[in-house]
Amino acid sequence: MGIVNELDLREDVASLTERIMNIESVSGNEKALADAVHQALLVLEHLEVHRDGDSIVARTRLGRERRVVLAGHLDTVPLPHTQGARGTVPATVVDGVLYGRGATDMKGGVAVQLALAAELTDPRYDVTYIFYDHEEVAAAKSGLGRLARNAPELLSADFAILLEPTNGTVEGGCNGTSRFLVRTTGAAAHSARAWMGENAIHKAAPILARLAAYEPQTVDVEGLAYRESMNAVRISGGIAGNVIPDYCEVEVNYRFAPDKDLAQAEAAVRALFEGFEVERTDGAEGARPGLDQAIAASLVEILGQEPKPKYGWTDVSRFSALGISAVNFGPGDALLAHTDDEHVTQQAIRDCLDTLRAWLSETE
């Protein structure tokens, strides 16, 4: 049997986006879309194609002095449960707007990658197109991380663009992210005789008070202002409705500017919660803006817009860790990602394609 989901990489890029959106690819279920992407790339004779699980790498081999990466993930977050939500599968089109899961995060960007891969047989730079699985889940499952471990030579480049949604402007670098458990302990007792125990949940009040009083910084890094944030994202404790709780955990998420590494971020959290037990449970380094190279400046010049910082964590951090300057640039509004109303305009996708086509086609 032939492949069920066939993609025509030369059709209108907005229509291609709709086709890609109609192939459901919630994290862990990327195979059907990966198969379709792989099959579509294999017929392009100017590309060398490599597959690792549900991640695909396609590369030109033109002998250019410099190489750039265009990367995007195939997976989406789970479909919405809200009745009548439009951010689902299949996609719908209303007045030039594409609604559906992955519209902004980030199947429009993936469609742009595929369109360029098919069209550009003689680009200004050698180009590596990377399509990877498991971005929306734990970092340990990342397809991009797996590629970096299994075939790091395929990721080698002078500059990388992650086609995450940026509303059509360049967003440099990204904040780092870390999670911590801040704990209190007490003594269990029957709630009818509460004076016999020690309430661990009540003892967490100073933790919340410190967070409420905390004033996050805005840090200038190479000309971009990165806003930090530190918030309680979950609290748990107690075992029953008639038992004084003997433990409580407050989970804290710290989004930190890329002037800090993980160790410095952890030191800041431990200082804020001095006197409490603190455990770091997760963390990922940020990435500096990556706009100090001429190759990046040429993209900014074509756009004619001032670059912005990326507040959320993205896989530009992985490229930065490999010594590759990287930025975010893609169609759609990141504020709509993961929402029940996720959508992107068809024109935004076409504009992104036009910009990258011009950038990759111009002569030096």
Q: Is 302 helix (H, G, I), strand (E, B) or coil?
A: helix
- Taking CA atoms, 133 is separated from 26, 29, 137, 299, in Å, by 10, 9, 10, 27
- What is the distance in angstroms between the CA of the first residue and the CA of the last residue of the chain? 46
Residue 142: CB atoms within 10 Å: 21
Residue 160: CB atoms within 10 Å: 25
Pairing between strand 171-172 and 308-309?
Answer: parallel
The single residue of 54, 105, 126, 135 carrying the catalytic annotation is 135
The amino acid at 50: H
Exposure string of 336-363, with b = 16+ CB inside 10 Å and e = fewer, is: bbbbbebbbbbebbbbbbebbbebbeee
What token pair was written down for 30? 């990327």
Dihedrals phi, psi of 253, to nearest 5 degrees: -110, 120
The single residue of 75, 105, 126, 315 carrying the catalytic annotation is 75
Q: Do the Cβ atoms of 170 and 307 come closer than 8 Å?
A: yes
Q: Is 35 a catalytic residue?
A: no
Dihedrals phi, psi of 128, to nearest 5 degrees: -115, 120
What token pair was written down for 65? 């002095």
Q: Is 135 a catalytic residue?
A: yes
> Rounded to 5, what percent of the chain is helix, strand, coil?
30, 25, 40
Q: Is 44 helix (H, G, I), strand (E, B) or coil?
A: coil
Residue 1: CB atoms within 10 Å: 3
Q: Do the Cβ atoms of 296 and 290 come closer than 8 Å?
A: yes
Q: Please list the active-site residues.
A: 75, 135
